[in-house]
Structure 1
Amino acid sequence: MPYSFTLPNIRKEAAALWHLAWPVLVGQLATVGMGVADVAMTGHTSAAELAAVALGTSVWSIILVTVNGTMMAINSVVAHEVGAGAFDRIPHSVRQALWKSVGVGVLAVLAANLATLLFNYLYLAPEVNARASMFVHIISIGLLPFAAYRALYGYSASINQTKPVMVIALVGLAVNILVNWLLIFGQFGLPKMGALGCAVASGTVVWLDLLAIVLWIRIAPAYRASYPFDRWEWPHWPEVWSMLKLGVPIGVTYFAEVSVFGAVSLLVARFGVVTVSAHQIALNFSALTFMVPLSFGIGMITRVGQALGEGNPQRARFASFVGLWMALGFAVLSALGIAVFRYQIAAAYTSDVAVQQMCAHLLLFAAVFQLSDAAQVAASCAIRGYKVTRGPMLIQTLAFWGVALPLGCVLGLAPQWVPFAPAEPMSATGFWIGLVLGLTVAAVLLVAYLNRLSRQRALA
């Protein structure tokens, strides 16, 4: 049936999307809150410890988000199966996604540990280099369980069960903060580990999250119709390969975005502890606000996928654009909030006055890119609901590696061989200008792609 953009229809779709998205949002905020807690709590030890967390988190985040994207294929697969009423097919898909997670997780551990070799080329103080490298070595223990957790997370969200993920994430955040407090500051006679305490806490919590979601699926009645643990199943390589073909472009898409942010963190390290710390705080808070449109996007994968599974591409198009406008509406509010309260945000993270001033300056750029960031993530998630992943991969690779990072390097580093480079390096400011423009390019192209794709499917 056709869907018109009338107020009653919009309200109905917005309510359905919000029902899916708000538990995801709380869970995502709790997950990102672990990184916020790591940075904020370490920021009250020393600038050197904060810099180690900033650099280590840059590597960890790149690998983690890439794994997350690669495992997101299960969201689209299960959503389509739910829409088609093929609940008997779901357990097989979930079991194959778990086999896929083993390979993805092992590769992620290797990649994270090898990535620490990059620190040797960043002109870091020896102490910061050693602490950042050890941070990554320790926290990488969480990558294998994270891959499996995200497979089960996607399955749960796609059958409209998002509240369990929220509860698990909130408990994980509480455990992370407690272990951070114990190990960063050496409470109750425990060793004062500083940055390394964050790594121990975060790596441990991921294992606990996996255990919790497995137990929840085993006991909750909502999973009975599609229970995936009723029998053992060996890998079915054509199915695993099919999920890889769908998931790898999503992982590359995520990598294209987050690796640019991580690369910028590594490149600004040459400008000193104050600059890299301020940059990481601004980036960390931006990631926090990003969780809202991302949560809408995860809900949109389910809404769009289920509509297509039941053979209703008109409803899929309608759901796509209602979700997009909801994401943009929040982005307007977050941009205003960041611009107005940027000094208070910086002070909440660190007591270092120099870092506060630099951070407040960078948060202005974070405010500017709220709209484009929200638009690009919502549009890309809606497109994934159509089981289309290569187009967004190419667009975001172009936007981030073809626009954001090159322009940021020119402005931030001012290489003399580039004719239009500024006379003096703009440091972190130049990189953030590049990020703003890269996100804008991604947003414009992805929204246009979504409009064309959804219209074609609706008219077919």
Structure 2
Amino acid sequence: MPQWLSLWRREAVPTLLLAGPLVVAQLLQVGMGFIDTVMAGRINAEVLAAVGLGSSLWNLMLLACIGATLAISPLVAHLNGAGDEQAIAGEFQQGLWVAILVGLVAVPLTYGLAAALPLLNVDPEIAPLAGDYLRVSAWGMPGLCLYLAPRYLNEGLSNTKPAMLVQSLLLPLNVLGNYLFMFGDFGITPMGASGAALSTAIGLWLGALMMFAYLWRGKRFRPLALFQNFAGPRPKEIWRILKLGLPIAVAIIMEVGMFSAVAIMMGSLGKVEMAAHQIALNYAAMMFMLPLSISQAITIRVGHAAGAGDLRLAIVRGQQGVVMAGGIMALSATMLLLFPELIVALYTNDAAVANMAMSLLFAAALFQFSDGLQVSASGALRGLKDTAVPMFITMFAYWVVGFPFAWYIGIQLAVGPQGLWGGLAVGLTTAAVLLNLRFYLLGRKKIATAAGKVTDPVGDV
């Protein structure tokens, strides 16, 4: 057997073992959005569309918070790979201050999104309900960030099970919360879309409490002394983490912002189109959790190898993860093409919404493979602490290429929802090509730099 193939086989199992719990955790988390969507669809099309639009915009803030705090994972992975356990507590404590700062800033920004809805030409029946959804869900943002800091600490230590355990507890609580607050029972007034937001916000705070309880009681964390001699905020350390994390947040915002902008344009076409868009997007988001989980595992594995000084192994781990993610999303595209009726039937029995949603699922099949390649390449680059260049790549791919194409084809040429989704496919494909090219070139230069052949480390660009 060739040496490279033997190495790939040996490295595949640890990556999959790391990714497995992350897949479950991510699917459970997105399952909460799936449940919100299904339960909203049982009320009426207006509530379904409002939850769809509100959650799309709220996800923009949620993923920005994830991006800003995600730097904790590769930073801890590098320290863990280098065997520097004494520095991990300090990294976590400053990461926690970053999480608090980001969570507090996210609240007024989410309110701002709600205030901007009347300016976005959204259907007047949908806009007020979506605004209420955003205002209620905003108060879950600090809880989200307090959950993310200990989660990414664990993942940097190659421990991906806590997120799975917490999400498995939160999912049934979300169902109960939706039932109580959306439909009303036990004397509670039915709240519709706002009820779904309230249930989500409560769940985020509960998730934070569970994660800190896990850290506090876990025997494996005692040698790290995470909460002993707890340091106050140190601006230089906070800025160092944000300098790595903010480009991740911007890159995520670029992608999710494109999807949110398309959702807004879809909302201007009518409530049937918006409801169909939400169905197709929710399914695509669920499948995206698979390559996203692999991407997070890649960040950990690449960061650990890079911290240990084995750059060749780091590059192999990144390449392997990209192949895995691309293969999984190729299977997802096949599912969309073969079984669109079964997928749509899970969401709605409205014939008009169902027919439109099936046409969008065919469009979604076009970008599944590209989505897997771009997110896995991003994860590999984060493992190398390379976040600035990927940020500019995503800006170009999504806002110079993808969004203008969606607007021109979908709105100006009046192709409609299918044209808007075609723009998503073009943007994601452009990002996939450029991010993988960046990882290839960066890997070659870093290995050459480590070997003393060049003096200009590209990773600092």
Q: TM-score, normalised by structure 1?
A: 0.95
Residue 269 of structure 1: how far off its partner (Å) = 0.7
- Of 103, 106, 109 in structure 2, the residue corresponding to residue 105 of structure 1 is 103
Whether the aligned pair in 2 keeps the contact of 1:122 and 1:269 (CA below 8 Å) is no
Letter in 2 for 1:456: K
| CA–CA separation in structure 2 for the residues paired with 1:61 and 1:203 | 13
SS at structure 2 position matched to 1:89: helix
1:8-87 matches, within 5 Å, as 8-87=6-85
Whether the aligned pair in 2 keeps the contact of 1:217 and 1:227 (CA below 8 Å) is no
Whether the aligned pair in 1 keeps the contact of 2:107 and 2:141 (CA below 8 Å) is yes
Moved more, 305-314 or 175-184: 175-184
Aligned residue number for residue 419 of structure 1: none
SS at structure 2 position matched to 1:387: coil
2:148 is the counterpart of 1:150 = yes
Residue 449 of structure 1: how far off its partner (Å) = 0.6
Whether the aligned pair in 1 keeps the contact of 2:377 and 2:435 (CA below 8 Å) is yes
SS at structure 1 position matched to 2:251: helix
Residue segments in structure 1 that go unaligned for 5+ positions in a row: 415-421
SS at structure 1 position matched to 2:84: coil
Residue 126 of structure 1: how far off its partner (Å) = 3.9
Aligned residue number for residue 351 of structure 1: 349
Aligned residue number for residue 293 of structure 1: 291
Aligned residue number for residue 127 of structure 2: 129
2:120 is the counterpart of 1:114 = no
Residue 34 of structure 1: how far off its partner (Å) = 0.9
| CA–CA separation in structure 1 for the residues paired with 2:343 and 2:223 | 46
2:439 is the counterpart of 1:450 = yes
Moved more, 96-105 or 254-263: 96-105
Letter in 2 for 1:114: G
Question: Which digits, 9 at most, give the CA deviation of each residue in 1:269-290, with x for residues without a partner?
Answer: 1111000010011111111000
Residue 127 of structure 1: how far off its partner (Å) = 4.0
| CA–CA separation in structure 1 for the residues paired with 2:67 and 2:92 | 16
2:427 is the counterpart of 1:427 = no
- Of 313, 317, 333 in structure 1, the residue corresponding to residue 311 of structure 2 is 313
Residue segments in structure 2 that go unaligned for 5+ positions in a row: 450-461
SS at structure 2 position matched to 1:251: helix
Q: TM-score, normalised by structure 2?
A: 0.95
| CA–CA separation in structure 2 for the residues paired with 1:4 and 1:302 | 24
| CA–CA separation in structure 2 for the residues paired with 1:426 and 1:227 | 59
| CA–CA separation in structure 2 for the residues paired with 1:39 and 1:192 | 16
Residue 329 of structure 1: how far off its partner (Å) = 1.3
Aligned residue number for residue 458 of structure 2: none
Letter in 1 for 2:377: A
| CA–CA separation in structure 2 for the residues paired with 1:253 and 1:219 | 35
Whether the aligned pair in 2 keeps the contact of 1:44 and 1:351 (CA below 8 Å) is no
| CA–CA separation in structure 1 for the residues paired with 2:223 and 2:298 | 23
| CA–CA separation in structure 2 for the residues paired with 1:346 and 1:37 | 14
How many residue pairs end up in the alignment?
Answer: 448
Aligned residue number for residue 366 of structure 2: 368
- Of 210, 213, 222 in structure 2, the residue corresponding to residue 224 of structure 1 is 222
| CA–CA separation in structure 2 for the residues paired with 1:351 and 1:195 | 19
Whether the aligned pair in 1 keeps the contact of 2:123 and 2:268 (CA below 8 Å) is no
- Percent of aligned positions that are identical: 37
Residue 125 of structure 1: how far off its partner (Å) = 4.4
Residue 170 of structure 1: how far off its partner (Å) = 1.1
2:410 is the counterpart of 1:412 = yes
Aligned residue number for residue 325 of structure 1: 323
Whether the aligned pair in 1 keeps the contact of 2:136 and 2:198 (CA below 8 Å) is yes
Whether the aligned pair in 2 keeps the contact of 1:342 and 1:363 (CA below 8 Å) is yes
Residue 192 of structure 1: how far off its partner (Å) = 1.7
